[in-house]
């Protein structure tokens, strides 16, 4: 991990890696030489991505894992540490969304977001930190959201969970400074993923094109972000070149937080 373009020998764990931003991160880290282990509950998509990466001579392994289950997560991490002898990077990317204000948010939906978006991140950090302490350091990157920084309509539960992710990032960064563990968080705005396409198709049938354009224009820069752009930032933040960055929240939002009027 001498520079941002050389992760040879580095072991990276990415949760929620089967699609969208997670899949882009899997590919991006593998292309710069990392040994990538990605976790997801979608086994079909996970196996397909792993096969595609391996066909391109990339060192990628898919491990089925539900991040809401602490025991399962810890077992997976122990296996990876035993296999490779180290864990250099953890990226907590797994997450789910929920549309609605507080009155429209069902208790079961609220609980699901807590379990995946908050407990999943807690489980990930709790699982890797003992190993990172033993080996003398490591990097944790959490995926938050601008929804925790600005008031978006109808994102009550989602915004709440991402606010918790941001707060956990600061706390872990502070508590583990002396162990050489860096912990940061990125806050994307709207990114063009299969989830966005599915959301538009489901909720705006017959108006997909105009709705997509409206979503794109809601970003001050005039378009949505790409998964590759998010992945590129992640690769930098977890590299040695970013070794002076910890306890930071880095928006990648097309100007959404500061430039909206």
pLDDT digits (tens), the chain, 261 positions: 445 667 999 999 999 999 999 999 999 999 999 999 999 999 999 999 999 999 999 999 999 999 999 999 999 999 999 999 999 999 999 999 999 999 999 999 999 999 999 999 999 999 999 999 999 999 999 999 999 999 999 999 999 999 999 999 999 999 999 999 999 999 999 999 888 888 788 878 999 899 889 888 889 999 999 999 999 999 999 999 999 999 999 999 999 999 986
In a domain, 125, yes or no: yes
Asked if 204 is an active-site residue, the reply is no
In a domain, 41, yes or no: yes
Pair 29, 155 in one domain: yes
The pLDDT assigned to 199 comes to 77
Pair 106, 87 in one domain: yes
In a domain, 61, yes or no: yes
In a domain, 29, yes or no: yes
In a domain, 2, yes or no: no
Contact 67, 116 (CB under 8 A): yes
In a domain, 67, yes or no: yes
In a domain, 86, yes or no: yes
Pair 170, 247 in one domain: yes
Pair 178, 218 in one domain: no
Which residue range forms the structural domain that includes residue 127?
A: 11-189+226-251
In a domain, 80, yes or no: yes
The pLDDT assigned to 202 comes to 84
Pair 171, 234 in one domain: yes
The pLDDT assigned to 198 comes to 85
Please tell me which residue in 7, 84, 122, 158 is annotated as part of the active site.
158
The pLDDT assigned to 6 comes to 79
The 10 Å CB-count burial string (b at 16+, else e) for 34-71 is bbbbbbbeeeebbeebbeebeeeebbbbbbebebbeee
Pair 199, 94 in one domain: no
Number of domains in the chain: 2
Pair 128, 219 in one domain: no
Pair 119, 68 in one domain: yes
Helices 20-31 and 227-237, packing angle to 10 deg: 50
Residue 32's Cβ-count burial label (10 Å; 0-12, 13-18, 19+) is: middle
Pair 34, 16 in one domain: yes
Pair 62, 51 in one domain: yes
The pLDDT assigned to 215 comes to 87
The pLDDT assigned to 3 comes to 58
Pair 238, 211 in one domain: no
């Amino acid at each position: 991990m001498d520079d941002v373009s050389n992760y040879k020998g580095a072991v990276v764990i990415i949760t929620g890696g089967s699609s969208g931003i997670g899949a882009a991160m899997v590919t991006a880290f593998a292309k710069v030489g990392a040994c990538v282990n990605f976790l997801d509950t979608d086994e079909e998509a996970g196996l397909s991505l792993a096969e595609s990466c391996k066909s391109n001579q990339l060192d990628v392994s898919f491990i089925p894992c539900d991040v809401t289950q602490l025991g399962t997560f810890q077992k997976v991490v122990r296996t990876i540490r035993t296999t490779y002898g180290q864990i250099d990077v953890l990226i907590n990317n797994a997450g789910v969304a929920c549309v609605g204000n507080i009155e429209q948010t069902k208790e079961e939906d609220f609980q699901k977001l807590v379990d995946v978006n908050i407990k999943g991140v807690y489980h990930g950090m709790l699982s890797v930190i003992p190993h990172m302490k033993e080996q003398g350091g490591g990097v944790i990157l959490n995926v938050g959201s601008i929804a925790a920084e600005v008031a978006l309509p109808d994102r009550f539960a989602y915004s709440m969970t991402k606010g918790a992710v941001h707060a956990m990032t600061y706390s872990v960064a502070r508590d583990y400074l002396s162990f050489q563990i860096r912990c940061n968080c990125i806050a994307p705005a709207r990114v063009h993923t299969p989830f966005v396409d599915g959301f538009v198709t489901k909720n705006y049938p017959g108006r997909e094109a105009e709705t997509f354009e409206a979503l794109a224009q809601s970003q001050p820069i005039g378009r949505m972000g790409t998964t590759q752009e998010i992945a590129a930032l992640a690769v930098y933040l977890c590299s040695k070149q970013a070794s002076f960055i910890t306890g930071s929240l880095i928006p990648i939002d097309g100007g959404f937080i500061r430039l909206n009027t």
